[in-house]
Structure 1
Amino acid sequence: MTERDSQRSRVYAWEDRVVAAKDPSQIAFAAAQGMIDAIWAEMGLLYPPRAAPMPAQARRRIADANRLTLRLQATTPSWCLLHELAHAMTTTHDGVSDGHGPAFMGVYVTLLGRYLRLDEAALIQSARDAGIQVTPDAKPVFADALIRHPRA
């Protein structure tokens, strides 16, 4: 495990204990792209990633993401869709990612608060109690470029 993603196992354990326990809802793959597009736009971003099915042989992963694609199962927990969107939002166009670092956690907590109506302050405190660093005011990594160079 790289130093940059040293929080990964702590984030997964925290997520199972705190987030998944509060949200049992599931998203069908057919509905995922509409949700991705809407959330991406509400965050003030252009060019959302595309939803794609996880390979059939993927048995251990629920989902994964990069800047361009969110790979999802036939049904995916709502919190997991937000987790993968946070990865897409914290990965630059050239593929540099925050992994499960403080910026990822800040964006993820924002998404959990906004779309699952979980208490952001309580999420941040519980994450910090679990030894997870969080940047509370983190923004998607390419949002500043959109603000400086708005489309005509």
Structure 2
Amino acid sequence: MSRADAAARRLYAWEDRVVAPRDTSLVPFAQLQALVDHVWAAEGLRFPPRVRPLPRQARRTVARATRLAIEAPSALPSWILLHELAHAMTSTAEGESAGHGPAFVGLYLHLLVRHARMLEEALAASLRAAGIPFDPAARPVFLG
């Protein structure tokens, strides 16, 4: 297992334990683009990624994102959409990505606090307890 895989697994376990129980909302595919556009604009960004259907052959993938697109199933929990938006914000149009590293986790934490109304102190403490590093000053990579 690579270091990146271990970081992703640790983050996914943290999400299952800490984030998912705090946000049980489910967003239908038809509403995802509007939510993406809203969050993107609220963060002061232009040109949000486009939402498109997740390919049928992606059986083990819940959703995935690049700077330009978010692929999603017929419905998606809003916290997973925020996770994918953090990936879009930490990726470039050229395909470079921060993976699940500190910049990604820092932006994801910010999105959870601002858009899912979760308590920053509690999330940050649980990330530290889980040994997941995060950058509280992280910004979208394409802003420079």
Question: Is the pair's TM-score, using the shorter chain for normalization, greater than 0.5?
Answer: yes
Q: What TM-score does the superposition give when structure 1 sets the normalisation length? A: 0.90
Cα deviation for residue 2 of structure 1 reads: 4.5
Give the match's secondary structure for 1:131.
Answer: coil
Cα deviation for residue 3 of structure 1 reads: 3.9
Letter in structure 2 aligned against 1:135: D
Change (3 A) 1:45 1:5: farther
Aligned to 2:82: 82
Q: Is the 8 A contact 2:106 2:135 kept in 1?
A: yes
RMSD, aligned CA = 1.3
Q: Is the 8 A contact 2:66 2:92 kept in 1?
A: no
Q: Does structure 1 residue 103 correspond to structure 2 residue 131?
A: no
Give the match's secondary structure for 1:98.
Answer: coil
Cα deviation for residue 85 of structure 1 reads: 0.2
**In the aligned structure 2, how far is the partner of 1:10 from the partner of 1:91?**
21
Cα deviation for residue 137 of structure 1 reads: 1.6
Cα deviation for residue 43 of structure 1 reads: 0.7
Aligned to 2:62: 62
Q: What TM-score does the superposition give when structure 2 sets the normalisation length? A: 0.94
Aligned to 1:147: none
Deviations 1:71-127 (A, max 9, x none): 001000110000000000001222111100000000000000011100112111101
Q: Is the 8 A contact 1:5 1:101 kept in 2?
A: no
Runs (4 or more) in structure 1 with deviation over 3 Å come to 1-6
Q: Does structure 1 residue 27 correspond to structure 2 residue 46?
A: no
Change (3 A) 1:11 1:31: same
Cα deviation for residue 143 of structure 1 reads: 2.2
User: Following superposition of structure 1 onto structure 2, how do residues 2-151 of structure 1 map, counting pairs within 5 Å?
Assistant: 2-4=2-4, 6-144=6-144
Alignment length (residue pairs): 144
Unpaired runs of 5+ residues, structure 2, are: none
Unpaired runs of 5+ residues, structure 1, are: 145-152
Instruction: Indicate the larger mover: 86-95 or 1-10.
Output: 1-10
Cα deviation for residue 55 of structure 1 reads: 1.2
